[in-house]
Amino acid sequence: MRHTRPSILITGGLIAVLAASPLAPAQEPFRQVLISVSRDTDPNLIFRSNTASRDAVPECPVAWSVRKVRLTGGKQEGVDIVRVDNGKMQITLIPTRGMGIQMVTLEGKRILGWDSPIREVVHPSFINLLSRGGQGWLEGFNEWLCRCGMEWNGSPGIDRFVNSAGEETTMDLTLHGRIANLPAQEVLLIAERKPPYRITIRGRVDERILYGAKLELTTELSTVPGSREFAVRDAVTNRGGQRQEFEMLYHTNFGPPLLEEGSKLLAPVETVTPLSGDSARDVERYDQFLGPTPGFAAQVYGIKPLADASGRTLVLLRNKAGDLGASMRYATRELPFLTVWKNTVGREDGYVVGIEPGTNFPNNRRVERKHGRVPSLPPGASHFMTIEYAVHSGAEAVEGAAGQVARIQGDRRPLINEKPEKSE
């Protein structure tokens, strides 16, 4: 199998070059189709498949495995998950829910994830995005990393805009768009046969309609065996013949052990703004988190992060003791806005904090357009977004990451707005 779009992704292009070389046949990566809309899928692999490094890439010194399982029972019936075990971390992807990441465990212990009141991995056919006044999305939401988009994300409600035919039109948008409830068309495992023996899961998710958006997500999750790091490299491509708006938000959700009373967000900040009236009074504490607080009303803050000389920012969540952290590094040009969602309610109600890089803030698209935060793509063009994730274990590692955040901030003082921006 060859690359269909070698120009989109940097690693893809690199592999394509290697694969095309007649001198390196043994180094062509191992590939296995996990899910495909092709009619030649082996029916024996529909319910489960398992790939182990000892068979696929015996030369890799760290044993890894990739397992696809179709879940059964309740609302998860028919959901496919892909579990990547890099020998150190276990990353569970959900192709059936837009290639989200359910959770990440480190040597079997959950490190990235949260305890949503929704306990199954819900199949999109059980979700009605229109229910509860456009908030049906909440009935399936329990991922660590849940994409919001691609045509829109943010609050439900009426958007008024000019469509591609030049007509003024309205659309009743649902919370956070459709991508988390769209299944992947293609999922492919690619494993390099030479150091660093990188494992990649590549997926494609279509969000297409006649008389509307034709957006395509190409996503790669990759990790090096034995590491505590992984990266997500996404491209959103406009496959239609007209210019098309899009919005992407990486709704990344942390519960214990990273979230606890006294956990803190460390981020290089240009400005912080409360995104709702209720959030305004606590804006000075936007970066501090409470323990489980039954009845807590959610607060949301919008951050413009600062970047280093290479254009990248680093955002760190660390626990109270300062000996456990998780960080995201990404280019602010690709994802200029960062949202902090504090939902530190009681444990039974979903104690969680979201740290959410995006192309925009999660207001209704109508509001975001007014503020100039809705990007668009000409026909055939792509927007690329890469986020590098790392888990930091031990005080030294956490301090190292915190120091990098501080260096990006330098002597620039964050501007903290006490009032929300006008929403209309």
Would you list the DSSP string of 359-396?
SS-SS-HHHHHHTT---EE-TT-EEEEEEEEEEEESHH
Residue among 75 and 329 whose Cβ is closer to its own copies: 75
In the bound state with its own copies, the residue whose beta carbon lies nearer, of 206 and 421, is 206
| Cα–Cα distance measured from residue 96 to residue 116, given in angstroms and rounded to the nearest whole number | 18
CA–CA distance, 53 with 55 (Å, rounded to integer)? 5
Q: Are 314 and 279 in contact (CB under 8 A)?
A: no
Rounded to whole angstroms, how far apart are CA atoms 14 and 294?
A: 51
Q: Is the peptide bond before 257 cis (omega within 30 degrees of 0)?
A: yes
Look at the chain and count its residues. Answer: 424
Phi, psi of 116 (to 5 degrees): -70, 150
Q: At closest approach, how far in Å is the CB of 122 from its own copies?
A: 10
Give the C-alpha separation, 199 to 205, whole Å: 20
Which is closer to its own copies, CB of 82 or CB of 408? 82
The minimum distance between CB 291 and its own copies, in angstroms, equals 13
The rounded distance, in Å, linking the Cα atoms of 1 and 19 is 10
Residues 29, 30, 35, 37, CA torsion sign: positive
When the beta carbons of 214 and 366 are compared against its own copies, the nearer one is: 214
User: Which has the closest alpha carbon to 315: 332, 291, 300?
Assistant: 332
Contact, 318 vs 82, CB < 8 A? no
Minimum gap (Å) between residue 129 Cβ and its own copies: 7
Min. distance of Cβ 267 from its own copies in angstroms? 25
State the minimum distance, in angstroms, from the CB of residue 242 to its own copies.
7
Cα→Cα distances 324→121, 212, 318, 397, Å: 27, 45, 6, 8
Q: What is the nearest approach in angstroms of its own copies to the Cβ of residue 336?
A: 27
Closer CB to its own copies, 92 or 360, in the complex: 92
At its nearest, how many Å lie between its own copies and the CB of residue 121? 9
How far apart are CB 149 and its own copies at their closest, in Å? 16
Query: Which of residues 212 and 336 has its CB atom nearest to its own copies in the complex?
Result: 212
CA–CA separation, 225 vs 202, rounded Å?
A: 17
Residue 28 or 139 with smaller CB distance to its own copies: 139
Of 155, 125, 156, the residue nearest 140 (C-alpha): 125
Taking the complex as a whole, the smallest distance from the CB of residue 210 to its own copies amounts, in Å, to 5
| Helix segments in 285-384, DSSP class H | 365-370
In the complex with its own copies, the residue whose CB is nearer, 214 or 369, is 214
Cβ 90 to its own copies shortest distance, Å: 13
Give the tokens for residue 139.
Answer: 């009935």
Rank residues 106 and 118 by Cβ distance to its own copies and give the closer one. Answer: 118
Query: Which residue number, 241 or 394, has a Cβ lying nearer to its own copies?
Result: 241
In contact, 102 and 144? CB cutoff 8 Å: yes
252: which 2 tokens? 């990344």
